[in-house]
């Protein structure tokens, strides 16, 4: 059991101190601020015994009690606005679910959600963000569908003291608080290395748009990885589907017609269903290596059939959850996150599928 001592070295009665911060608990326990943060917010990445020790000290000093008392003393709740696309629902439904679960976990601290759904990534963001500027909100969790088109709106929120957290992709030149995503350049590099080990012929990339930072960075990473191999696969096409399943089908048909020797396709977004369906209809599904993105029932179906050979899991649920928690910690605890909160990309194949998508 930990004995509470003051930062200055003497014994300390927890009641003598009015308020404790994460930094105080880190000093008291000897653990890093990051480790304490994970323990207090029930995040993964630390040992159970470490979590138990930290929570024991937090309870002794009344850390949770102080936070609850402070939150309940507010006359108005903290309102977190979420601006997410309805399409591709395969991915953004999980981002939204992560946001919702974080809000539910924070309900004791008077945190409330406000949803502003848009149709697709890159369409409707201006209207949604502009409408939020006239409402009483505390922060925004937002998937920017363009690398810079929404900077003036994001900066406007920041100037008004309303932090914006980007999720799944980025507006890197804006004044957003942080971005929570899987490192897109590393995503592309992983896909490129995997593809280069499988094929030496013609390959193609299917993305949503080069104007979306996540898609652009994945494309660069994929190309850089291919260039490291000799002989390297030949990149014959980079096609934009604008996150439309119908457009993805059209692009795949066009690709197969124009490149009969095609050996591999990297689908850098969750928009893979139309691609796989078209490959099956063409009779070439088993000839072409496919690396997809993310994990949902339709991807699992095509992974088990061998149409998809591997997919890179980006954990959209955790992205939505972590984005919301980082916003809360900044507003309530004064903890500024780093400029990027990167999650680890995971290659999922049939052999390890059960660990990421258990059979129901």
pLDDT confidence band for 182 (50 / 70 / 90): very high
When comparing pLDDT for 37 and 26, which is higher?
26
Residue 159 has pLDDT above 50, yes or no: yes
Mean pLDDT of the chain: 90
Residue 110 has pLDDT above 60, yes or no: yes
Model's pTM, two decimal places?
A: 0.81
pLDDT at site 194: 96
Contacts 24+ apart (CB under 8 A), 149-157: 149/125, 149/211, 150/125, 150/126, 150/174, 151/175, 153/125, 153/126, 153/129, 154/129, 157/129, 157/132, 157/133
- Hey, what domains does the chain have and what are their CATH numbers? 14-70 (1.10.260.40), 74-181+316-342 (3.40.50.2300), 184-315+349-356 (3.40.50.2300)
pLDDT at site 315: 96
Residue 71 has pLDDT above 60, yes or no: yes
pLDDT at site 66: 61
Residues 252-276, mean pLDDT to the nearest whole number? 97
Q: Which residues pair with 79 in a beta bridge?
A: 112
The tens digit of pLDDT for each residue in 119-155 reads 988 889 999 999 999 999 999 999 999 999 999 999 9
């Amino acid at each position: 059991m930990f004995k509470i001592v003051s930062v200055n070295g003497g014994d300390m009665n927890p009641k003598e101190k009015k308020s404790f911060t994460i930094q105080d608990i880190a000093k008291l326990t000897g653990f890093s601020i990051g480790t304490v943060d994970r323990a207090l917010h029930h995040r993964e990445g630390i040992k159970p015994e470490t979590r138990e020790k930290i929570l024991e000290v937090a309870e002794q000093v009344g850390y949770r009690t102080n936070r609850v008392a402070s939150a309940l003393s507010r006359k108005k709740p903290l309102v977190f606005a979420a601006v997410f696309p309805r399409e591709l629902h395969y991915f953004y439904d999980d981002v939204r679910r992560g946001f919702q679960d974080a809000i539910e976990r924070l309900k004791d601290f008077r945190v409330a959600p406000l949803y502003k759904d848009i149709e697709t990534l890159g369409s409707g963001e201006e209207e949604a963000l502009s409408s939020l500027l006239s409402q009483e909100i505390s922060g925004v969790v937002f998937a920017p569908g363009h690398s810079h088109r929404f900077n003036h709106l994001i900066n406007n929120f920041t100037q008004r003291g309303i932090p914006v957290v980007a999720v799944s992709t980025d507006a890197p030149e804006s004044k957003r608080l942080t971005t929570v995503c899987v490192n897109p350049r590393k995503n592309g590099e992983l896909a490129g290395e995997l593809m280069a080990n499988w094929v030496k012929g013609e390959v193609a990339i299917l993305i949503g748009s080069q104007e979306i930072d996540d898609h652009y960075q994945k494309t660069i990473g994929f190309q850089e990885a291919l260039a490291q191999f000799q002989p390297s696969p030949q990149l014959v096409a980079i096609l934009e589907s604008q996150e439309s399943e119908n457009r993805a089908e059209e692009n795949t048909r066009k690709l197969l017609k124009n490149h009969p020797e095609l050996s591999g396709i990297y689908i850098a977004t969750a928009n893979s269903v139309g691609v796989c369906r078209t490959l099956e209809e063409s009779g070439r599904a088993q000839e072409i290596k496919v690396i997809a993105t993310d994990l949902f029932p339709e991807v699992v179906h095509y992974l088990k059939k061998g149409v998809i050979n591997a997919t890179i899991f980006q954990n959209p649920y955790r992205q939505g959850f972590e984005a919301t928690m980082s916003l809360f910690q900044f507003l309530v605890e004064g903890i500024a996150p780093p400029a990027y909160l990167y999650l680890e990309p995971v290659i999922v194949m049939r052999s390890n599928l059960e660990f990421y998508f258990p059979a129901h």
